[in-house]
Amino acid sequence: MLIGEAPGGDEDRLGRPFVGVSGRLLDRMLASVGLNRDDNFYITNILPFRPPGNRTPTDAEIALFLPFVLRHIALARPRRLVLLGGVAAKALLRSREGITRLRGRWHQVTTEDETPLPALATLHPAYLLRTPRPSARLGPTCCCCAERWTSISSEGRRFYTCRRPGTGPDAAPPFALW
């Protein structure tokens, strides 16, 4: 399950997450490793609405909707979470650390029923679009070369996780997916 921050303008109009420019980048990133959102992932956001002026959600807004997101996770029953960006990572990991410190390693998100769920924090696709550093954009290629994708089957749904050969299912990729 991929969890982002909040809908942008395109997402607000269409009522679907990640359909704007960031969503197209996300689709290309997933396609670079042979995956697509419709078959392999469920995508949602921390906030169900776009904050005024497309600003970062406030702590109060996040606190208000966090129980709904946790219920959403419980209903979707994913095996792994990928937290797209600092807002999603800080909210679900209940951390004050920034995304650059959180990304690249597995964390635990405690679900509604107190079950720990592996979660990987990564950069938001919008950040990659704004960042001129080419190394930030090379992550999908590096990850694809350095890691192997393994399928996890659960009740007819397919979920994917990135794993280094020989290091176990919870090893984080060096680029935190991208």
Residue-wise pLDDT for 58-70, tens only, equals 999 999 999 999 9
pLDDT at 1: 94
Is residue 170 over pLDDT 80? no
pLDDT class of 38 with cuts at 50, 70, 90: confident
- Among 159, 16, 152, 176, smallest CA distance to 84 is for 176
pLDDT of residue 139: 52
pLDDT digits (tens, 9 = 90+) for 120-141: 999 999 888 888 764 444 454 3
